[in-house]
Structure 1
């Protein structure tokens, strides 16, 4: 009998206090609870895996979107520093984890400069959103991994079932 596929999930969504402000974004969505019960969830925080501490200053992508950071054409910055190398290192670690475990689907935190899948903050630190994806999402998608946000549990569940 074939083992059930695993899914990479943002660690903050399962209650780990890894957000930039030391909080979590714990979800009690029934699909997530079912995945957890079935031991399908692989929790992961790219920012922590990249070497950033908790708490840490908020960061936003400046001058583009996630793929632009991957290609070296944009940066992830706090108000005072370029932290792109940490975001890139975390994205590479997420990809390596997915490849190691054969993961083809991820459910990541919306609007994050790492994990956002449809929108991210615009780099002005004014809480203004723009269309785009985070660094980890861009890298995972570039390698054929489907990425969804916590607003898309059902879609992720359908993709996982394929």
Structure 2
């Protein structure tokens, strides 16, 4: 089984209630070859919500307690991101998932690059919180 970011499958679950439909990902879900997940929703964040970014590091640093996730209003939403990541990991383990297709740059799903925490549309090297947790558990991440 493959897990995919729900927004890539066409679900309007991004911070601004939009999706970023990827036809290939949509087809995987439509044909039951993939299951869509949204770590932010799993962590209890609403739709819509203020955009969030990782401050002070990357997703691995958040998991280690050395960085945090804040929204554009300055609210600490770290616990929501960690909770959502843990729920996705539990689902991935129970379904024996070995591959995940996640939305690039996201503070939850980003793999390789994420926004830099300044809310100025700048990127930095790093992974989102959920991507980092899945990587720690030897689950392959592809970014779209």
Match of 1:11 in 2: 6
Decide which of 19, 22, 30 is 2:17's aligned counterpart.
22
The answer to whether the aligner puts 1:120 opposite 2:114 as a matched pair is yes
Match of 1:51 in 2: 44
CA contact (8 A) 2:29 2:35 kept: no
Post-superposition CA distance 1:101-140 (Å, at most 9, x none): 1111100000000000010000001000011100000000
Gap runs ≥5 in structure 2: none
Rounded Cα–Cα distance in structure 2 between residues aligned with 1:27 and 1:99? 25
Give the superposition deviation at 1:36. Answer: 3.1
The structure that has the greater radius of gyration is 1
Rounded Cα–Cα distance in structure 2 between residues aligned with 1:73 and 1:138? 14
Going from structure 1 to structure 2, the CA distance change for 1:102 and 1:44 (only over 3 Å counts) comes to same
TM-score by length of 2: 0.96
Q: Where does 1:3-152 land on structure 2 (aligned, <5 Å)?
A: 6-29=1-24, 32-79=25-72, 80-150=74-144
Rounded Cα–Cα distance in structure 1 between residues aligned with 2:140 and 2:110? 13
TM-score by length of 1: 0.85
Give the superposition deviation at 1:37. Answer: 4.8
Give the superposition deviation at 1:34. Answer: 4.8
Runs of 4+ more than 6 Å apart: none
Instruction: Considering fraction of residues, name the structure with more helix.
Output: 1
Post-superposition CA distance 1:69-88 (Å, at most 9, x none): 00000000013210000000
Give the superposition deviation at 1:40. Answer: 1.1
Aligned length: 143
